Amino acid sequence: MATYQCPNPSREKYSVNTLNEKLNNDDAFAAFFSAKLKLALAGDGEAIACVDSYYEPSDSELQSLGIPSSQWSVMRKCTDSGSLVAPITGEETSEDIKQR
């Protein structure tokens, strides 16, 4: 069974699509990443750095989602890009919680 570390030792970052594939095909990674994302969305600095070390949406993904290029650098940080990933992992975003 694979173990995952923070920060990502391989420095290979996943795009939205590749992260989705990884989460669907690797249960251990899905559990690890979901737990870190939940902590990151709650404001945990170490978890934010960890998620950021694994995940970076591509320009084409952000463009296809209709996100203005002026917002791309912000959306690459996990507390904002978590809004893109949280539905994949089943986690709620801070926006979901605020809307209740």
Whether this prediction's pTM lies above 0.85 is answered by: no
Alpha carbons within 13 angstroms on the beta-carbon side of residue 66 total 0
pLDDT tens per residue, range 28-66 = 999 999 899 889 888 899 998 999 899 888 889 888 888
Map residue 12 onto helix, strand or coil: coil
30, 64, 99 from 35: Cα distances, Å: 8, 28, 22
pLDDT tens per residue, range 67-90 = 888 888 877 776 555 556 655 555
Chain centroid, CA 43 distance in Å: 14
Helix axes 78-89, 27-41, angle to 10 degrees: 130
